[in-house]
Structure formats: C-alpha cells, structure tokens
A = this chain, B = another copy of it.
Amino acid sequence: MSSKPRQPVQAAATTFRIIETLHELNGAGVSELADELEMPKSTVHDHLQTLNEAEYLVKRNGDYHVGARFLELGGFARSQMKLYQIASPEIEKLAEETGEHANLMIEEHGKGIFLNKAKGRDAVNLDTHIGKRVHLHTTALGKAILSKRPESAVDEVIERHGLPRVTEKTLTDADELKSQLAEIRERGYAIDDEERVAGMRCVAAPICDGDGDPLGAISVSGPTNRFNDETFRTEIPKTVLSTANVIEVNMTYS
C-alpha cells in the first residue's frame, strides 16, 4: 500500500483539480465545471474568482481559460532548462539525420515527461506532446533512465505506479524489467518494440551527470517497417549514443 496521502492544504488540491479540468475541457463556464467535478457551483466559483484575480486564469466571453501565467512557470527549474537548451538542437539534428521522431524525456515522481520532440521529414504523427506524462516502463526513454537508477528506486517506482499494460507487448513483469535494465546498462542503450504504441519502435540512451545519475534520456522512434533489424539494432543505436555523448559533454563543461 502506498503511504497515506498527506494533503494538509486541501484547498490547494481543489484549486489544481479545477485548473486541470479547465485545461482538459479547453475552457469552460462555472456550471459546466461544477457539473464535471461534482462540486457546488459556488465553491467552483470561489476558486475561479480567486484564480482570476491572481491572473492565472482569463475570462473570455463568459468562459474561463487557463492563462499564460503558466507559461512562465513552465520555464521551470533552470537546471532542467539547461538540459532542454543543450539537448534541443541536438534532438533537431537527430531528427534531421534519421528523418524520424527524436525525443527528450525527464523523470518526475516516477513518471516520464516529454520535454521536447523534433519531427524528421518522414515522421508519423504521434500522441507525444510536450509535457505528456507516461509510465517509465512503457518506453525506451523511461527504461534508459531507470537503468541508471539504483534497484531500490526502481522498486519504488513499481510499487507506486505498477506496471500497467498499454499494448500487447508491454513489459508487465518486474523481473523481466530488471533483467532488461541490466542489459541496457551493459550495452548503453534501451529499446522499445511496440511496448507503448503498436507499430512503433524506439531506441533511447540516457543522459547522465558527472556522478552517473540520470538527468533524462533521448530517443529516436519510428514505425516498425522502417525500423528493421539492421537499423534498429546497430545503425540507430550508434547515432543515438553518439548524440547522447555530445549532450553529456556539453552539460558538464558549460
């Protein structure tokens, strides 16, 4: 069992629930929100008014919308901003060279978050928008990050989020995951063979700081038919690894 969820300031939690659903609904009125959240109109209204006063929301022709204030907060911790800035141009190059999607992911609270992505000329459309949160075990990126963390941390993640199946090929066994992580540690890169999205393969490599702790991971992903065994097992990994290396060097010396 997970430890009891200590939330001493429930009002804050409520506020964020409202903001989240407001974001999901892409703007809404008081009643619509109250209905969706199963809360009294007046309570929702109280929160909305406070947020509007604080300029975190915008009221436009009757509906409330999430404001641009969050953009500013989105430019979050500069340490991660640094990874973002250094990695982004490299991701672009990677996408250009391979013609496929290239991604940058970090870990937070045991989940993977897409920090950036670049589309190559042949890239298919995917559901990976910036900020998207996924389970670590379902992606090569996540496995690359996990491979650089101690076993205790891996156990923690499993206990907290489980290993839910999202496609037929998703890893759902803890031991199987751990043995894959050992492999990844050995060869330096991780792969994902239709484990999060059917028909998509992915190759990822971790980015570490000087202590060997993972800062994030980068990847290239594409449709199975273009990622045949040859490119999938040798060519792409080589490119990804070399790019990861460039980023690591730039991170430590600047």
Contacts and interface: CB of A to CB of B under 8 A. Distances in A.
Nearest to A71: B131
A175 B134 CA distance: 54
Copy number in the complex reads 2
Interface string A1-25: 0000111111111011001100100
Nearest to A116: B71
Nearest to A73: B70
A75 interface: yes
Nearest to A76: B66
Contact of A12 (B51, B74, B109, B129): B51
Given A71-B131, A133-B72, A7 B53 contact: yes
Nearest to A27: B77
Contacts of A23: 72-73, 76
Contact of A71 (B15, B49, B130): B130
A174 B91 CA distance: 48
A159 interface: no
Contacts of A68: 74, 76, 80, 106, 108, 113, 115, 131
Given A11-B11, A50-B7, A66 B77 contact: yes
A12 B11 contact: yes
A126 interface: no
Contacts of A109: 55, 58, 67
A65 interface: yes
Given A66-B73, A72-B133, A76-B66, A54 B7 contact: yes
A129 B15 CA distance: 27
A47 B9 contact: yes
A37 to B, nearest CB: 15
Interface in A43-91: 46-47, 49-51, 53-56, 58, 65-80
A54 to B, nearest CB: 6
A229 B75 CA distance: 37
A132 interface: yes
15 contacts: A7-B50, A7-B54, A8-B49, A8-B50, A9-B11, A9-B46, A13-B53, A19-B73, A55-B108, A58-B109, A65-B77, A66-B77, A68-B115, A72-B131, A73-B74
